[in-house]
Amino acid sequence: MAAVTTSPEVTGVETQQRAGRIAKGYRAVRELPLIPLIILIFLLVIPAMFANQLAPHNQRIGVLDDAKLPPFWVSESFESRTVVQRADKDKLDVEIGLTNARRKVDRGEATILSGGEDGTVDPGDTLRFQANKGGSMEYPLGTDKQGRDILSRIMHGARISLMVSSLAILLGGGLGTILGMLAAYRGGKTDSIIMRIVDIKLAFPSILLALVLVAAIGAGFTTVIVVIAVLLWARYARVVRGEALSIKQQDFIDRARVSGASNVRIMMRHIFPNLVNTVVVLATLEVGHVIILESTLSFLGAGIPAPTPAWGVMVADGRDLITTAWWIFLFPCLAIVLTVLSMNLLGDWLRDKLDPKLRNV
C-alpha cells in the first residue's frame, strides 16, 4: 500500500484555523459578564438545584438552645454588672435587676465576681455573664430566633426564588407576548381594547394590586405565581406590541400574505421568531423584578407562608432584631440584592449582544 503523506501547507492551514477558533472562543469568554454569572451560579442556580444535598441543616426545624447564634467569625463577649434591687432606667448598661441576676446564676449563665459571701445573690454584688454567644462553623452564617440555620434557609430560599421567577415569567410573559402580537397584527378595535386593558393594569400600584389579589385568593405558592404573572403580562404586551408593529411593516410579511399564509401562521412563523431576542432580554431583566415582588409579598405576610424559607420571609423574621441579631436580617437581604443586581447586569449584556442596532449590524 502506498504511504499517505500530508502536505505541509494543509497542516499549516489546519493549525491556523484551530488557533483562530481558540482565539475566538477566548474572546467570547472574555466578553462574558463573569462576575454576575459566578454570583448567579453559586448563589441561585447551584443552591436551587442541590439544596437538599448541600444544606448542612434542616431548613424548617431549629434547635431553640442554639437560637440567635451569630456568624462563625463573631466571638463571644462578656459583661460585668452590678446587682440592684430595682434597675435604674438611666443605668441599665451597668446594672442588672436582682430577679434577673438570680435567674442567670441559677441557670449557670452568670458567675459572681464580688460579694455573694452568703452564697446568694444580693444587691451590690457584681456579676459576670455572657452578653453575646460566639459563632461556630456548625452554623457558618448564624441562626435565627428559632435556632434554624440561616445558610440552609438561604439555599432553600434560592429554590423558591428560582421556581417563582421561572413559572411567573413563563406564564405572564407568554400571555403578554400573545396579546401584544395579536394587538399589533389585528389592529383596530382589538388593539384598542387590549391596550386600554394594559393602561388600566399599569395604572394600579403593583404591590396594592398584589395584596388585593392575595386577599381574594388566599396566600400560597401557587397564588404568588399567579399574582406575579398578572402583574407582569402588561409589560410584555406593551413592549411586544411595539416591536411587532415595526415587524408587521416589513416586506416579507406582505409576501407571506400574498402567498396565502394564514394569520396564525404569519404571527407564529414570521413575527414571533423576530421577537424572541426581545422576549428573552425582557425575561432576564424581569427575573430581578419578580424576586423583589416575591420578597416584598413574603415580607408583608402575603406571599410564601412560613415556615417555607423564602428570602422575604427571612427578612421579615429579622426586622425586629436588626440591632441585636443583625445577621438574621442582613444575609437574606444580601442574597436578594446580589441576585437582582447580577440578573440586571446579565440582562443588559444580553440586550447589547442580541440587539442588532446596539451591535451596529
Instruction: Report domain extents, the chain.
Output: 77-132, 150-354
Under 8 Å between Cβ of 101 and 111: no
Can you give the pLDDT at residue 130? Answer: 66
Determine the pLDDT at residue 361: 45
d(CA 141, CA 155): 12
Query: In the structure grid, which three cell numbers stand for residue 112, read together?
Result: 459572681
> How many CB atoms neighbour CB 278 within 10 A?
20
Beta strand spans in the chain (E): 77-84, 95-97, 110-114, 126-132
Cell of 45: 442556580
Structure confidence at residue 281 (pLDDT) = 83
Return the SS3 of 361. coil
What distance lies between CA 180 and its chain's CA centroid?
Answer: 28
Quote the pLDDT of residue 12.
59
Per-residue pLDDT of the chain in tens (361 residues, 90 and over written 9):
455 555 555 455 566 666 666 655 555 555 667 788 888 888 888 888 888 888 888 888 888 878 888 898 887 777 777 777 765 555 555 676 666 677 677 666 666 666 655 567 767 677 676 666 777 888 898 898 888 999 999 999 888 888 888 899 999 999 999 999 999 888 888 889 999 999 888 888 878 888 888 888 877 888 888 888 888 898 899 999 988 888 888 888 888 888 888 888 888 888 888 888 888 888 888 888 888 888 888 888 777 877 788 888 888 888 888 877 888 889 999 998 888 888 888 877 877 776 655 554 4
Q: Can you give the pLDDT at residue 295?
A: 83
Instruction: Report the distance separating Cα 209 and Cα 330, nearest Å.
Output: 28
DSSP assignment letter at 89 = G
Q: Tell me the DSSP string of 37-77.
A: HHHHIIIIIHHHHHHHHH-SS-SS---GGGTTPPPTTPPPE
pLDDT score for 1:
47
Give the single-character DSSP code of 131: E
- How far, CA to CA in Å, does 42 sit from each of 88, 154, 155, 220, 340? 50, 12, 10, 27, 14
| pLDDT at site 175 | 92
Fold designation for 150-354? MetI-like fold (1.10.3720)
How far apart are alpha carbons 33 and 110 in whole angstroms? Answer: 53
What pLDDT, on the 0 to 100 scale, is given for residue 122? 66
Find all residues with CB under 8 Å of 69, minimum gap 6, and list them.
133, 135, 136, 139, 142, 143, 147
